[in-house]
């Protein structure tokens, strides 16, 4: 059975399929990019039982969802089952849900002075995602909603820009009450094939020579339009198995037909080179300009020209992590060693990277935990949000199908490995 969602190619068509209204906003970053935000509209809730003035509006708890590399806001509403779409799941539970779009993807290809046709438009990397996109988007949302802070939920690169953004923008830690990282990508292990591993470690000049200085794999978008979806699914399954060793068995064939149509939007070659530098060095570092021309002084460079690392241990926002045991892009031990004590960790046995967007069972294995986290770290909406201390969440439960994972005593987390 073919889902009508398979033929929806834009956010508007997809959200209309689910019978929701939405708003489109544009954030002007400090370096003059215009980023598109999608917000699901919901009827305002009024406070009747907790106030003598029944007309007082309750300030809704705000959540910002941010996609991964080459993706868009579409991924948050691309599950064929409505309750598996995190954006809709949270909206139905009273949250004010916003979805970001990184510079360069099809919804954020505008700049006040630069054209996407020119190479200078594409001169951005994770540095800019962390320095501008993430904080400027959050400031816009808080100003628009009047909320004192929000919860940030990222997937893959959406987590990396938050790790970077929270570390180099200290004031953001007071504006993000909780950071939920799904399939965090700040410590990727690299590729499974030795030839690809060698390509990753090549000099940036070689990579730029092969890929250009503008859009990464622009031809994929073209081929995606002309290849039939079943064949495209087989190509993607083969590609991710070759690149990362993933099997993609936790997603149904029908789900792949829909979700794989939303895997590729545009990004810069420079951002890919930045990821290659991170993989090659084993450090979550800023882009290496060789020599570095970066203006930030949050950390110091060291001898032999090592570019500065993002100072992620300085993050004070509570962090919750969800990752799969089969995700070859996540090295949890390295990630944990570079972060402050975590508030919550959940490892799901057999899950891979993309499963946190599209796997069967998301609504049972991930979303209830997210709700508990949101309830714990968000103050009641009608009360001042000044919290004296952000304490780790203490959830002590293990499903009957689950087994506990032993972790260091100094990390106050609940880690659960869920069997299939």
Nearest alpha carbon to residue 339 among 391, 409, 387, 284: 284
Widest distance between CA atoms in the chain: 69
Locus of tokens 């996609």: 67
Output b/e per residue, 82-106; b: 16+ Cβ within 10 A. eebbbbbbbbeeebbbbbbbbbbbb
**How long a stretch of residues is the chain?**
420
Instruction: Kindly list the distances between the CA atom of residue 348 and the CA atoms of 18, 117, 321, in Å, as whole numbers in the listed order.
Output: 29, 42, 11
Question: What contacts 35, CB < 8 A, 6 or more positions away?
Answer: 26, 27, 29, 100, 101, 102, 103, 108, 133, 136, 137
- Which sequence positions are flagged as catalytic? 156, 327, 353
| Six-digit token string for 399 | 């499903």
CB-count burial class (<10 Å; 0-12, 13-18, 19+) for 297: exposed
Is residue 159 within 8 A of residue 183, CB to CB? The reply is yes
């Amino acid at each position: 059975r073919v889902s009508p969602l398979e033929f929806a190619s834009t956010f508007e068509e997809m959200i209309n399929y689910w019978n929701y209204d939405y708003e489109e906003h544009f954030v002007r970053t400090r370096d003059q990019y215009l980023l598109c935000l999608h917000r699901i509209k919901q009827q305002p809730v009024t406070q009747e039982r907790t106030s003598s003035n029944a007309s007082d509006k309750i300030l809704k708890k705000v959540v910002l969802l941010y996609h991964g590399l080459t993706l868009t806001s579409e991924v948050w509403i691309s599950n064929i089952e409505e309750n598996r779409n995190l954006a809709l799941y949270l909206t139905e539970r009273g949250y004010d849900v916003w979805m970001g779009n990184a510079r360069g993807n099809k919804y954020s290809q505008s700049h006040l002075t630069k054209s996407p046709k020119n190479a200078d438009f594409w001169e951005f990397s994770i540095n800019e995602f962390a320095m501008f996109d993430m904080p400027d988007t959050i400031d816009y949302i808080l100003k628009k909603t009047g909320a004192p802070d929000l919860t940030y939920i990222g997937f893959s690169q959406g987590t990396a820009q938050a790790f970077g953004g929270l570390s180099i923008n200290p004031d953001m830690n007071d504006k993000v009450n909780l950071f939920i990282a799904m399939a965090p990508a700040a410590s990727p292990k690299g590729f499974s094939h030795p030839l690809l591993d060698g390509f990753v470690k090549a000099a940036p000049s070689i990579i730029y020579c092969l890929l250009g200085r503008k859009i990464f794999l622009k031809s994929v978008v073209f081929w995606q339009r002309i290849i039939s979806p079943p064949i495209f699914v087989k190509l993607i399954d083969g590609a991710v198995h070759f690149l990362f060793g993933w099997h993609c068995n936790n997603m149904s064939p029908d789900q792949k037909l829909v979700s794989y149509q939303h895997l590729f939007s545009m990004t810069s070659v420079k951002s890919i080179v930045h990821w290659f530098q991170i993989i090659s060095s084993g450090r979550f570092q800023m882009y290496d300009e060789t020599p570095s021309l970066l203006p930030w002084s949050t950390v110091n460079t060291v001898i032999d020209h090592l570019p500065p690392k993002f100072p992620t241990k300085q993050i004070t926002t509570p962090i919750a992590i969800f990752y799969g045991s089969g995700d070859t892009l996540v090295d949890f031990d390295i990630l944990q060693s570079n972060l402050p004590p975590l508030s919550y960790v959940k490892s799901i046995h057999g899950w891979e990277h993309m499963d946190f967007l599209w796997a069967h069972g998301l609504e049972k294995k991930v979303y209830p935990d997210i709700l508990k986290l949101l309830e714990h770290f968000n103050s009641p909406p009608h009360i001042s949000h000044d919290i004296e201390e952000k304490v780790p969440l203490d959830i002590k439960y293990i499903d009957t199908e689950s087994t506990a994972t032993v972790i260091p005593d100094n990390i106050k987390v609940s880690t659960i490995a869920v069997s299939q």
